[in-house]
Amino acid sequence: MERSADKVQYIRTCSIWRALEIFGDVPTLLILQSYWLGARRFDDFCRSTGLLKTVVSGRLKKLVENHCLVKVAYTERPRRFEYKATEELLDMFPTALAMLHWERKWGSAKGKIDIRVTHSKCGELTDPHSACVSCRGEVDARDIDWEPGPGIGEMPAVYSRRRRQTSQSNGETTELLDEVTQIIGDRWSALVLRAVFTGLNQFQEILEDTAISTNILADRLADLCDGGVLRRVEEPNDLRRANYRLTDKGRDIYPILITLLQWGDKWRPAPQGPPLLLTHRPCGERLEIIMACSSCAHEVMPHDTSVEVLSDERRIDYGARRRA
Ligand SMILES: [Zn+2]
Ligand SMILES: [Zn+2]
């Protein structure tokens, strides 16, 4: 059969996708994790991620081009720079907290550094969880209705041929968010999950929705099943109709995707409006997720949070509230 390399397929537009175009990449997520854990200078990022210098430099450049980081000189002679988060990157804080919450609940604990998050608003240690802004109920994917919004449309599926990358373990790397980074940092896996979360369960349906090539899709579905995120349900009478269902572990990824969707809606909006409208069924309101403090239930923001890395007594504050 002829393979048409030029034939462009179209997939649903969505703000999750627009956010993933920037963040859906393992090295980028490792760099952001290092940022949240206090890295500000090039050498810090290299050391804490264990990535090659060329990879770190390329990803930092891309984050600067995407207005997520700014380069600021901290000394003039010799002129040296550090990286500071913009308002756009600080708005990724809920995603970072959602990833942390998931990893603590589901990730394998081995080799992890230990951190402690304090919410200075209440002064207590916190393990923030996702909550509906209207009713403050914890968000469960089964409680959400979705409908197409004004910005729904199609866009060409253009997949770069990047290989999957992981950090080289050099004994110093801080693989705090290891498992979730491998999922969210792989755009194919993230797109597969988006499809399953919107009710597409059969191989063929997921194939059409994502426009991923058949072999890559089969590979990612197998990985997600091996990782306990999806489970395969056989249809005895029709092998082609095997279904993929979310496990509890998989369902808990939902808040992470919704924080990415909210980021995309805010910072990379479609001109016509949001592509997806979500309703929180228990309260009937439009769903907006916040990361709520486990002690006081208020929203946890970067400017009222500090993180301690227990292994080396680092303490990171994200500074006072900034105005855009
Ligand atoms: Zn609600
Ligand atoms: Zn609190």
Q: What is the pLDDT of residues 10-23, one digit of tens each?
A: 777 788 888 999 99
- 87 Cα: distance to centroid of ligand 2 (angstroms): 22
What tokens does 28 get? 């980028």
pLDDT one-digit tens code per residue, 46-91: 999 999 999 999 999 999 999 999 999 999 989 999 999 999 999 9
Tell whether the model's pLDDT for residue 161 goes beyond 90.
no
d(CA 106, CA 241): 29
φ, ψ of residue 138 to 5 degrees: the values are -65, 140
Rounded distance from Cα 297 to ligand 2 centre (Å): 6
- Closest listed ligand to the CA of 117: 2
pLDDT at 263 over 50: yes
pLDDT at 71: 95
Task: State residue 2's pLDDT score.
Answer: 41
Cα of 129 vs centre of ligand 1, distance in Å, is: 14
Query: What phi, psi does 63 have (nearest 5°)?
Result: -65, -35
**Which token pair is 251?**
């369902």
Contact 125, 118 (CB under 8 A): yes
Ligand 2 center to 302 CA (angstroms): 12
74 is written with which tokens? 């901290």
Parallel, antiparallel or unpaired: strands 80-85 and 69-75: antiparallel
State the distance from the centre of ligand 2 to the C-alpha of 284, rounded, in angstroms.
26
Residue 193 C-alpha to ligand 1 middle, in angstroms? Answer: 23
pLDDT at 323 over 60: no
Question: Residue 170: is its pLDDT beyond 90?
Answer: no
Compute the distance from residue 189 Cα to the ligand 1 centre, in Å. 28
Q: Which ligand minimizes its atom distance to the CA of 139?
A: 1
Average pLDDT, the chain: 87
Q: Are 296 and 124 in contact (CB under 8 A)?
A: yes
| Contact of 127 with 117, CB cutoff 8 Å | yes
Nearest to 275 by CA among 144, 165, 152: 152
Is residue 289 predicted with pLDDT exceeding 90?
A: yes
% of the chain beyond a pLDDT of 90: 66
Residue 324's contacts (CB-CB under 8 Å, 6 or more residues apart) are 87
306 CA → ligand 2 middle, Å? 12
Spacing, Cα 104 to ligand 1 middle (Å): 24
| Residues at Cβ < 5 Å from ligand 1 ion | 132, 134-135, 280, 283
Selection from 153-157, 208-212, 264-268 with the highest mean pLDDT: 264-268
The pLDDT of residue 258 is above 80: yes
Question: Which pLDDT does position 1 carry in this prediction?
Answer: 39
Which-ligand-closest: CA of 120? Answer: 2
Distance 3 CA to ligand 2 centre (A): 56
Query: Which of the 8 DSSP states describes residue 281?
Result: T
Confidence class for position 3, pLDDT limits 50, 70, 90: very low
Residue 130 has pLDDT above 60, yes or no: yes
Ligand showing the shortest atom-to-Cα distance for residue 136: 1
Q: How many whole angstroms from 138 Cα to the centroid of ligand 1?
A: 8
CA of 100 to the centre of ligand 2 (A): 16
CA of 25 from ligand 2 middle (Å) equals 31
Q: Give domain limits for the chain.
A: 7-323
How far does residue 125's CA lie from ligand 2's centre (Å)?
8
What is the distance between the alpha carbons of residues 65 and 42, in angstroms, rounded to a whole number? 16
Q: Which residue has the higher pLDDT, 310 or 132?
A: 132
- State the ligand closest to the CA atom of 131: 1
pLDDT over 80 (residue 6): no
